[in-house]
Amino acid sequence: MKTRIVFLSLCLLHVSAIGQELMDVALKGQSSIILSEPYIIILKEDPFSINKYLYYLNHSGTVVTDTSLIKSLVELSKFQDTTEWQLKEFNKRIVINPGDYIHQKKVINQLSPLNDFELKEIKTEIRKYNNRSNDWRRFPIRVSRPIFSDDNNFALIGIIRGNEGSEISLFKYSDSSWIHLGYLERKAF
């Protein structure tokens, strides 16, 4: 019984580490301020939409021809996890509720150790958000919870960048790291 519990604990740690790595890859170059409410990915399952998703993926540099993969991810997107994001689920990111004022010192103390460049970047984002949150087009980003394929080798993540636009990205787990394959959908607002 104890070995089974230890094994399950190790499996959960491995899965959460893989999920954390995926989030780090997906959020690279994005704002550090994240809305606690997750983005809900809405994908259509008709043949025209499936072909459109493949078209977008194939024009982003990676050739994907597996319609069954796209269909299964679309089906899995119907059962998304909608629990709110917590600060502990991200590395060096700020999670807030809509309209919250960000207390710079308090938030920076909660984040994992930051180098000088990261600290300066986060302070600048906090200052811009607190001074004119309604005018900052990139805030807040809303991030979906990952939607993993049945074999956990592929994942979808959706991101809304404030009122600037949105994207739904496909990632592949290969050689112990996540690779961005392309976009199923991109919108500009």
Residue-wise pLDDT for 51-62, tens only, equals 888 888 887 666
Residue 169 lies in a domain: yes
User: How far, in Å, are 23, 55, 60, 71, 157 from residue 66 at the CA level?
Assistant: 24, 12, 16, 9, 18
Q: Does pLDDT of 12 surpass 80?
A: no
Residue-wise pLDDT for 44-103, tens only, equals 999 999 888 888 888 766 667 778 889 999 999 999 999 999 988 988 899 999 888 899
Q: Does pLDDT of 139 surpass 50?
A: yes
Nearest to 31 by CA among 178, 147, 135, 160: 160
Residue, of 130 and 133, whose pLDDT is higher: 130
Q: How many domains does the chain have?
A: 1
Residue 5 lies in a domain: no
Residue 4 lies in a domain: no
**Token digits for 70?**
């796209």
User: How far, in Å, are 159, 168, 185, 186 from residue 165 at the CA level?
Assistant: 8, 11, 11, 7
- Quote the mean pLDDT of the chain: 83
- What domain range is 44 assigned to? 14-188
Residue 9 lies in a domain: no
Residue-wise pLDDT for 111-122, tens only, equals 868 889 989 999
Burial of 95 (0-12, 13-18, 19+ CB in 10 A): buried
Residue 3 lies in a domain: no
